[in-house]
Amino acid sequence: MCREEVSNSECFNMARCSDFRQWIYQEGLLDLGFIGAEFTWMRGNNTDSFRGARLDRALCNVEWRTRFPEAKVEHLPLINSDHAPLLIRSDPHLNTVGRKAFRFNMAWAVHADFINCVKKSWDSGKGIEENKQNTAVALQAWNKNTVGNIF
């Protein structure tokens, strides 16, 4: 962690951060970086009370990085927590060429049949990328046939 990774440098503990950086170095780890929001932890809702920091991060060793050179880490939106979930894509180009981006509609979540659609499309024997793709296809069809295509 560096000063640039916190919103309020007055609260920055240089010794603790130095120890953490030293540990990462000693273990031979690499920070995968990120795309998305600057901070993974946030509190406060105005300029006086706001605090944010990049507390959560993805680390790997050289062997893993060599195996997955295109891997990307995405800071996802904060929902029901003050920490942002991290999504690590080992192949960010997988299944994205020529396809329209899937957009989740929060209104679906209140529909009585929504969770059934998700459960039917999710297969615990498959990988997350395939499950995400299958669930997106199922939700788009469900939206059109059940909800009535609110778009």
Please give the mean pLDDT across all residues of the chain. Answer: 83
Between residues 118 and 150, the one the model is more confident about = 118
Q: What is the pTM assigned to this prediction?
A: 0.55
| pLDDT tens readout for residues 128-146 | 888 888 998 999 888 888 8
Q: At what angle do helices 128-142 and 114-121 cross, to 10 degrees?
A: 140
Instruction: For the chain, give percent helix, strand, coil, nearest 5.
Output: 40, 15, 45
pLDDT tens digits, 5-47: 666 665 555 666 778 888 999 999 999 999 988 889 888 877 7
Q: What local confidence, expressed as pLDDT, does residue 96 receive? A: 52
Domain ranges of the chain: 1-94, 95-151
Residues 6+ apart with CB under 8 A from 134: 121, 122, 123, 126
Helix (H, G, I), strand (E, B) or coil at 1: coil
For range 50-73, the mean pLDDT: 90
- Residue 114 in tokens: 């929504």
Predicted pLDDT of residue 128:
84
Taking only the tens place, the pLDDT of each residue in 104-125 is 888 888 888 999 999 999 998 8
